[in-house]
């Protein structure tokens, strides 16, 4: 019983979030021998964001075939069901303490769970309009792209006929095509930056194939209409992202979709006192995807925003294996050795993981990162201290695509004095 007389459930491993990350983490933890696993999901079904992504393009790396989002999710849901891993639906986790006590709320009320290990897999959410400073009224007809996607694909609602999209993240690009296929006219996708934040394949397949203009270095500077949106002003911006006077152009529309970035859902992680990374918006983790609270791991979009779900599943499987190892050893073995810090420099925005305990590494470790601009013909170099260990030529690097380098344990152990590993772009 807790201090306030609530019974306390106990589970070996609790996974917060039943999206692709949570499901893959559960399947891999079971494969690694964890018997008592509970997935907690606030929605009425597992699958996460994939449930509303009815387009194809998922699973090429994992299954060697192109699946829709729900098909991809279904494969993991089946695995979890076959393993009899319970997924408690309609239940939201509201607190995680440093000693891994979890507070949940569902229709049955508040419940408490003590977990031997926890995997954070809460995904991310869209940056809302409130976080953007666009003048004008707040009329009806403005949606985040993901909300519009949910309304259309899950609730079967029609959104609008004349559409402008602000932001060229993947959800915005996919919704440009989706709305066109539903008979709407998308007059423009305006992007503040000089490059798109989306995948190249989505720019081609969702905009270029349908003749939808992508206005780079442009933004919406005014919203017209009082009760319902009637149009927007789009303006070109300079290198400081300030609107250039005289470039205003009016676009009539009844719908404005916002696709202006995703924010990892880390209120729980922050409240638990986990050290967060300012660039990724997710926890800082080591090679086992362990946060700085022993026994608490993170994977998927809550850790950093991914481009492909295949990488989410791969990363989540690693978190599942690490949680199993933690539970069977009863301690964080990796913490026995001093951490090597990973540094992102020269065009590399961040790395995941952010630090490595060499003794805790598998034979190979994939380090993922994103770049801060479009680059052509650059080398991705890896330095152990001041010595360059490897460099790999890349013809194209873009902020919308995740990149990776693979480090080997053998190599790292052969440089025992290494305190820092730097990943950077070079000419
Ligand atoms: C519009 C769109 C299009 C995409 N297109 C592609 C594509 O074509 N190909 C591709 O490979 N990838 C695509 N992706 C990316 C892919 O969908 C994501 O990378 C993947 O879904 C992330 O998985 P996740 O489990 O980390 O997060 P999510 O799928 O967001 O799952 C997180 C889950 O956690 C739950 N949750 C959150 N907080 C709590 C809490 N406190 N308590 C309980 N439950 C909680 C949520 O309800 C949710 O179910 C797309 C993504 C979007 C948004």
pLDDT digits (tens, 9 = 90+) for 8-39: 999 999 999 999 999 999 999 999 999 999 99
**Ligand 1 atom closest to residue 92's alpha carbon, by position in its atom list:** 42
pLDDT digits (tens, 9 = 90+) for 266-278: 999 999 999 999 9
Give the burial string for 229-253 (b: 16+ CB within 10 Å, else e): bbbbbbbbbeeeeebeeeeeeebeb
What tens digit of pLDDT does each residue of 120-134 get?
Answer: 999 999 987 665 678
58 C-alpha to ligand 1 centroid (Å) = 12
Which residue of 17, 282, 304 sits with most ligand 1 atoms within 8 Å of its CB, as the best mutation to test the pocket?
17
Q: How many A from CA of 68 to the centre of ligand 1?
A: 14
Looking at the CA of residue 310, tell me the nearest atom of ligand 1. 11
Query: Scanning the structure block, which residue is given the tokens 């859902």?
Result: 265
Q: How far apart are CA 305 and CA 318, in angstroms?
A: 17
Provide the token pair at 116.
């031997």
Residues with CB under 6 A from ligand 1: 16-22, 40-43, 48-50, 53, 57-58, 92-93, 121-123, 146, 149, 170-171, 174, 265, 268, 300-302, 306, 308-310, 312
Given a cut of 50, the residues of the chain with pLDDT beneath it are 334
Side-chain half-sphere CA neighbours of 95 within 13 A: 9
What is d(CA 174, CA 179) in angstroms, rounded to the nearest whole number? Answer: 9
The Cα–Cα gap between 58 and 416 comes to 40
Q: Could you tell me the domains of the chain? A: 1-125+262-333 (3.50.50.60), 128-260 (3.50.50.60), 337-427 (2.60.40)
- DSSP helix/strand/coil, 131: helix
Mean pLDDT of the chain: 93
Q: CA-CA distance, 251 to 223, in Å (whole number)? A: 10
| pLDDT of res. 329 | 86
Distance from the alpha carbon of residue 102 to the mean position of ligand 1, in angstroms: 22
Q: pLDDT by residue (tens digit) across 235-262?
A: 999 999 999 999 999 999 999 999 988 9
Phi, psi of 355 (to 5 degrees): -150, 160
- Nearest residue to 26 via CA among 57, 48, 8, 6: 48
- Please name the residue ranges forming H helices in 100-196: 145-153, 170-181
What per-residue confidence (pLDDT) applies to 133?
74
Residue 135 is predicted with a pLDDT of 79
Residue 166 CA to residue 176 CA, distance in Å, equals: 11
pLDDT number for residue 131: 57
Pocket test for ligand 1, best of 14, 19, 45 (most atoms within 8 A of CB): 19
* pLDDT score, position 331: 58
Report pLDDT for 365: 95
**Do 290 and 322 form a contact (C-beta atoms < 8 A)?**
yes
**Nearest atom in ligand 1 to 60's CA:** 11
Nearest-CA residue for atom 30 of ligand 1:
123
Query: How many A from CA of 20 to the centre of ligand 1?
Result: 7
The DSSP annotation for 290-317 comes to B-SSTTEEE-GGGTS--S-HHHHHHHHH
Instruction: Report how far apart the first and last C-alpha atoms of the chain are (Å, whole number).
Output: 62
Structural contact between residues 229 and 256, judged by C-beta atoms closer than 8 angstroms: yes
Residue of 38, 61, 106, 309 to test ligand 1 pocket, by largest number of atoms within 8 Å of CB: 309
pLDDT of residue 293: 95
17 CA to middle of ligand 1, Å? 9
């Amino acid at each position: 019983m807790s201090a306030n007389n609530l019974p306390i459930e106990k589970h070996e491993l609790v996974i917060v979030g039943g999206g692709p990350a949570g499901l893959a983490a559960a399947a891999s933890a079971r494969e690694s021998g964890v018997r008592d696993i509970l997935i907690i999901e606030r929605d009425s079904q597992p699958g996460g964001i994939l449930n509303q992504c009815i387009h194809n393009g998922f699973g090429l790396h994992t299954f060697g075939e192109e699946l829709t989002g729900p098909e991809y999710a279904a494969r993991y849901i089946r695995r979890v069901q076959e393993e009899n891993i319970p997924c408690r639906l309609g239940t939201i986790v509201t607190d995680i303490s440093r000693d891994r006590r979890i507070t949940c709320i569902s229709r049955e009320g508040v419940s408490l769970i003590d977990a031997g290990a926890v995997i954070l897999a809460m995904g991310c959410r869209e940056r809302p309009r409130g976080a953007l400073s666009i003048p004008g009224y707040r009329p009806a007809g403005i949606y985040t792209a993901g909300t519009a996607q949910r309304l259309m694909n899950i609730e079967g609602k029609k959104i609008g006929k004349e559409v402008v999209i602000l932001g060229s993240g993947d959800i915005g690009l996919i919704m440009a095509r989706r709305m066109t296929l539903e008979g709407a006219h998308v007059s423009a996708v305006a992007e503040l930056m000089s490059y798109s934040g989306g995948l190249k394949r989505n720019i081609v397949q969702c905009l270029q194939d349908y003749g939808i203009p992508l206005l780079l270095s442009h933004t919406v500077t005014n919203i017209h209409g009082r009760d319902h949106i009637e149009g927007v002003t789009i303006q070109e911006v300079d290198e400081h992202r300030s609107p250039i006077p005289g470039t205003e152009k009016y676009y009539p529309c009844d719908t404005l979709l916002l696709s202006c970035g995703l924010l990892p859902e880390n209120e729980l992680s922050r409240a638990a006192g986990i050290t967060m990374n300012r660039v990724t918006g997710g926890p800082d983790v080591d090679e086992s995807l362990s946060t700085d609270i022993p026994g608490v791991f993170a994977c998927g979009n809550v850790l950093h925003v991914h481009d492909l779900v295949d990488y989410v599943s791969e990363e989540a499987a690693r978190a599942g294996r690490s949680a199993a190892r933690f539970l069977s050893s009863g301690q964080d073995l990796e913490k026995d050795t001093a951490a090597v810090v990973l540094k992102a420099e020269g065009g590399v925005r961040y790395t995941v993981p952010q630090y490595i305990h060499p003794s805790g590494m598998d034979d190979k470790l994939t380090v993922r990162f994103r770049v801060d601009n479009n680059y052509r013909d650059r080398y991705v170099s890896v330095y152990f201290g001041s010595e360059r260990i490897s460099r790999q030529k890349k013809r194209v690097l873009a902020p919308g695509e995740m990149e990776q380098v693979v480090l080997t344990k053998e190599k790292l152990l052969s440089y025992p004095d290494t305190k820092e590993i730097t990943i950077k772009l070079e000419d």
